[in-house]
Chains A and B, each alone.
Chain A
Amino acid sequence: KQEVTQIPAALSVPEGENLVLNCSFTDSAIYNLQWFRQDPGKGLTSLLLIQSSQREQTSGRLNASLDKSSGRSTLYIAASQPGDSATYLCAVKHGSWGKLQFGAGTQVVVTP
């Protein structure tokens, strides 16, 4: 059974610092991995999708890496801003039509 873990559960940094969020999964036979952002009481916004054949994806200040063999993904957010304050979730999928299995999330606070 796949288990997805996110460490740390919460993180507070001053504005301008780089953020490093970790996601680990126990079953390496994934189809893809996706990072999401969730603001309080809201839905999920897709940030980055990494297919199983890829090692990383980048979008603006965001970079996500994937190491399937070790069951790890890392989301880097450069030069954090107060607007980056949110909960970040990672999710893995098995098979193109499989369901997403989510980690518990990392709650990020960026202080001005």
Chain B
Amino acid sequence: SAVISQKPSRDICQRGTSLTIQCQVDSQVTMMFWYRQQPGQSLTLIATANQGSEATYESGFVIDKFPISRPNLTFSTLTVSNMSPEDSSIYLCSVPDRNTEAFFGQGTRLTVV
């Protein structure tokens, strides 16, 4: 199984600012996924990040709002830009192992005030 370290674990941010979330995996993976979980809701995929190419965004999510970097096979960042209270959520990164079992980081709990 993959071990995923996500930072920060939580943050309280002012509206209009940006926060960058880091995801570090203990093994090389081709694909990394970023999800959002709004309060009381289930998980929604934001984008798929492949190393060496642009991230692929799901409907309703745009690169200007959620820029993603994927500099190598073990690391990715998600930035939440120009934040508003509606961005208050848990953000999670996920990777599949060779059996396609999905593993998740511990999540970043973001509160925008």
Q: A89-B43, A100-B45, A105-B42 are in contact. Are A43 and B100 (CB under 8 A)?
A: no
> Secondary structure of the B side of the interface?
strand
Number of A-B contacts (CB under 8 A): 57
Size of the chain A interface, CB-CB below 8 angstroms: 22
Interface residues on chain B, number (Cβ under 8 Å):
26
User: A96 vs B30: C-alpha distance in the bound complex, in angstroms?
Assistant: 12
Most buried by B among A32, A42, A89: A42
Given contacts A41-B90, A43-B92, A97-B31, contact A103 B42 (CB under 8 A): yes
**A-B CB proximity, top 10 nearest:** A43-B107, A43-B106, A44-B104, A102-B42, A49-B101, A43-B104, A102-B43, A104-B42, A99-B45, A96-B100
